[in-house]
Structure 1
Amino acid sequence: MKKGKAFVFAGWWSIALVMVLGSCKKMLPVDRPAFSLESQFTQDLYQPVLGRTTLMTNNFNAEGSTLPLTFRIINVRTFNDEPAPELLKLFPVEVWKKPYTGDEKTLAEITAKRATEDHPLFEIREHSGEFIMWNSATSDILKAQPDSGYLFDVEAFNDGGKRIFKNMKLRPFRERPYEPNNQNPITGANSNPAIKPFTVTDMITDSTGSNMSADDISIYFYRKGEGNSLTLRFLDKRLQPMDPDLFKDTKWNELLHGFNMQKTKEAVRYDVAFPIPLVEMPTRYTTFDGKQAKMVFAYSRQGFGNLRQDASFQINFAIYRKGDWEMVIWFNRENPKFIND
């Protein structure tokens, strides 16, 4: 082949290759969003406790649908098929604008990380399908069990399709402002308001030297105002005040995430932010799962044979309602033995 014709042929082949590749590109399939009709909520009954912010997670299976999906609550109504505007009305709620770490040094530092926004009391996260019941929801506003509660539908969709999940149920329990709590979640009755310590270790009685158990210690919660405080009081078996310094090995400044500690012969008071704990995450002030605050009261004494006896008891708890709270710790049978043998 002559050189000139070779150039012409090569040029023609290049043009043809570009045309073929261009047409193939046009023929390639275009990825389109998919919506699986097998997608589903893993539960249709939700029973949050009123008075506390509850996030209901891991409740939707997308089954291969293209993410993100968008979710909306629609057609909210009572079980009697009447309108339920109370679930759609906006109420002020506190939200975190900066992460809580557990290392905040002042109440003002915690306050600066939160802001007040208006939200429906019950809502769905737009792209996860998770539900939130905000702590502003109370039984004064919403229907609580034993009422049958509410029905609602959820619309889930993307550009590939949509589905409406019908007749989902919301049946809240009435408030329990602290935990542990013996209050009946439906009637609200509480015949035994005292709770017990989580653990009691190497504590003996001052009269007989017998081992103390959790049943020997009764703990009561009292809300006495609208502020931001927690006061700890100790009572002996005759309901007389006990000096907190008897628990001499207690790390009072690290007992809970509180501030401006004031300790007297009868009580220990802290300024605190609510709820306690502030966030469900492990910190040095919480249980290992972060769901409850943890307080350890400790002392040591010299036992028989000059053996050191390290005694303590631990209280795990949560408080959800803001206020001036008192926790009264009563040694209901015998007093602990603090003096050396």
Structure 2
Amino acid sequence: MKIARKFNTLNKTCNLGLLILMCVCLNGCKKLYNLPDEKEFLSVNLTYDGKSFYPILGRTTLMGNINTDHSTTPLRFEIVNPRYGDGRPYTDLFEVKPVYRWIYRYDGTEKNLEEIEAKRQLVFRPLFEVDSTGSFILWNSSTNELIEPRSKDSIDLVQNIRYFDLKVSNSGGSTVIKDFMILPWRVQDYEPYSDKNPYNGETAPDPNDPKNPKKKSYIWPSYMNGVYGELSNQALRTDDQFKDLVVYIRRFNGGNGHNLRFVFLNKNGEPINPDSFNETKWNELVHGFNMKKTATYVQYDVAYPIPLTSFPTKYTNGNSAKVDFSYSRKGFGGGLITANFGLNFKIFTKGDWEIVFHFQRENPRFDNE
């Protein structure tokens, strides 16, 4: 047994010595023959799924998916040669501005604005940049004033279109992917944006009668069920033929800079008391705080944008915020009639906003039968 142990120990010692000797020899050969260090692989066939980008200013937008063609990662990315179509350089896309970055996950259970703000912090980033994965980011700090959007008349001249190249590198070398193009739309503060012309931000014409200056396009409610007219006792509807209920998303004066208000108007443009919508869960309508309910509106303190993230909460429907207004009344025979309508929406720009529901052709029936 002692002989076996000595033999095993000797064997291990020999193996270790052999390994050290091999390393020394390899290093010696490398120095002797001036062999190069092993380099990472960088493919010359790096490609993107698309090279033309049309983001909307004022929104954080992620663009571009790279195919590395088995290149060794991580890769380094750098935007180079930013230029207009006529060769003039530009720098406005790279101006540094503050943007929010989440440091803790927002989940919709926060109890006040302070709790939300504690989960994010302001950092300074270029308006447009490429991240460590090769994706391009246009931050929501971008505005019409900082970056000239695409032409208001929808005619985009080549000398006004921005181009750039992308340098990609690792220790294996570098390559340049040429002729990316970015042509941003002007700021669209909210969605749906169907009431505005996306090129100039002015009122959009009625799509069914675009040459009629007396008609315009509206935001429609996302749904409307069981709402009957006060006089006709017929179901109200919003479609290509009738616009019984339309929506306005607009700024208002006199708020604190982060208010969201809901207003309801009758056919004469007069306020409808929110109490008329007696089944509405006002405390769960939006992720807002310090609710104020008057005879003419309901208002909340909110954090922008709305919704704050894509994380699903009870206040969202997919990637949009959602609001639902409902009321009940007694029908013939004492049966309960419940009506509701609602809107899926987004607001990207901080400020004091009101969402107005206008029954413009006939008032809804609230009275019992």
After superposition, the Cα gap between the structure-2 partners of 1:299 and 1:31, relative to the gap in structure 1 and judged at 3 Å, is: farther
SS at match of 1:245: helix
* Alignment match, 1:240: 270
After superposition, the Cα gap between the structure-2 partners of 1:186 and 1:23, relative to the gap in structure 1 and judged at 3 Å, is: same
Q: Please state how far the C-alpha of 1:26 moved relative to its aligned partner.
A: 8.1
* Alignment match, 1:260: 290
Q: Please state how far the C-alpha of 1:193 moved relative to its aligned partner.
A: 5.8
The whole-number CA distance in structure 2 between the counterparts of 1:304 and 1:68 is 71
Alignment: residue pair count: 329
The match for 1:185 among 198, 215, 231 is 198
1:44-90 Cα shifts (integer Å, max 9, x gaps): 01111011222225x21122222222211111122221121212221
Task: Please say if residues 149 and 172 of structure 1, whose CA atoms lie closer than 8 Å, have aligned partners that are also in contact.
Answer: no
1:104 aligns with 2:116: no
- RMSD of aligned residue pairs (Cα, Å): 2.6
1:144 aligns with 2:149: yes
Task: Please say if residues 106 and 311 of structure 2, whose CA atoms lie closer than 8 Å, have aligned partners that are also in contact.
Answer: no
* Alignment match, 1:198: 222
The match for 1:312 among 337, 340, 345 is 340
Task: Please say if residues 76 and 87 of structure 1, whose CA atoms lie closer than 8 Å, have aligned partners that are also in contact.
Answer: no
Task: Please say if residues 218 and 247 of structure 2, whose CA atoms lie closer than 8 Å, have aligned partners that are also in contact.
Answer: yes
Task: Please say if residues 275 and 321 of structure 1, whose CA atoms lie closer than 8 Å, have aligned partners that are also in contact.
Answer: yes
1:251 aligns with 2:281: yes
1:19-48 Cα shifts (integer Å, max 9, x gaps): 489749988xx9853222222111101111
List gaps (5 residues or longer) in structure 1.
none
After superposition, the Cα gap between the structure-2 partners of 1:19 and 1:258, relative to the gap in structure 1 and judged at 3 Å, is: same
Among all aligned residue pairs of Structure 1 and Structure 2, give the percentage whose two residues are the same amino acid: 39
The whole-number CA distance in structure 2 between the counterparts of 1:303 and 1:263 is 28
After superposition, the Cα gap between the structure-2 partners of 1:135 and 1:17, relative to the gap in structure 1 and judged at 3 Å, is: closer
- Mean CA deviation greater in 161-170 or 62-71: 62-71
Q: Please state how far the C-alpha of 1:237 moved relative to its aligned partner.
A: 1.1
Q: Please state how far the C-alpha of 1:109 moved relative to its aligned partner.
A: 1.2
Q: Matches of residues 273-284 of structure 1 in structure 2 within 5 Å?
A: 273-284=303-314
1:131-151 Cα shifts (integer Å, max 9, x gaps): 111112112121211254311
* Alignment match, 2:58: 51
The whole-number CA distance in structure 2 between the counterparts of 1:270 and 1:238 is 26
The whole-number CA distance in structure 1 between the counterparts of 2:227 and 2:78 is 55
Q: Please state how far the C-alpha of 1:18 moved relative to its aligned partner.
A: 6.5
Q: Please state how far the C-alpha of 1:118 moved relative to its aligned partner.
A: 1.7
* Alignment match, 1:156: 168
After superposition, the Cα gap between the structure-2 partners of 1:267 and 1:19, relative to the gap in structure 1 and judged at 3 Å, is: same
**Aligned partner of 1:149: which letter?**
I
The whole-number CA distance in structure 2 between the counterparts of 1:46 and 1:11 is 67
**Aligned partner of 2:357: which letter?**
I
TM-score by length of 2: 0.82
* Alignment match, 1:66: 72
After superposition, the Cα gap between the structure-2 partners of 1:12 and 1:211, relative to the gap in structure 1 and judged at 3 Å, is: closer
- Mean CA deviation greater in 110-119 or 278-287: 110-119
Q: Please state how far the C-alpha of 1:120 moved relative to its aligned partner.
A: 0.9
The whole-number CA distance in structure 1 between the counterparts of 2:12 and 2:248 is 90
The whole-number CA distance in structure 2 between the counterparts of 1:218 and 1:274 is 24
After superposition, the Cα gap between the structure-2 partners of 1:317 and 1:26, relative to the gap in structure 1 and judged at 3 Å, is: farther
* Alignment match, 2:46: 39
Task: Please say if residues 305 and 348 of structure 2, whose CA atoms lie closer than 8 Å, have aligned partners that are also in contact.
Answer: yes
TM-score by length of 1: 0.88
The whole-number CA distance in structure 2 between the counterparts of 1:274 and 1:17 is 64
Q: Matches of residues 62-141 of structure 1 in structure 2 within 5 Å?
A: 62-125=68-131, 127-141=132-146
The whole-number CA distance in structure 1 between the counterparts of 2:297 and 2:123 is 36
**Aligned partner of 1:336: which letter?**
P
Task: Please say if residues 241 and 266 of structure 1, whose CA atoms lie closer than 8 Å, have aligned partners that are also in contact.
Answer: yes
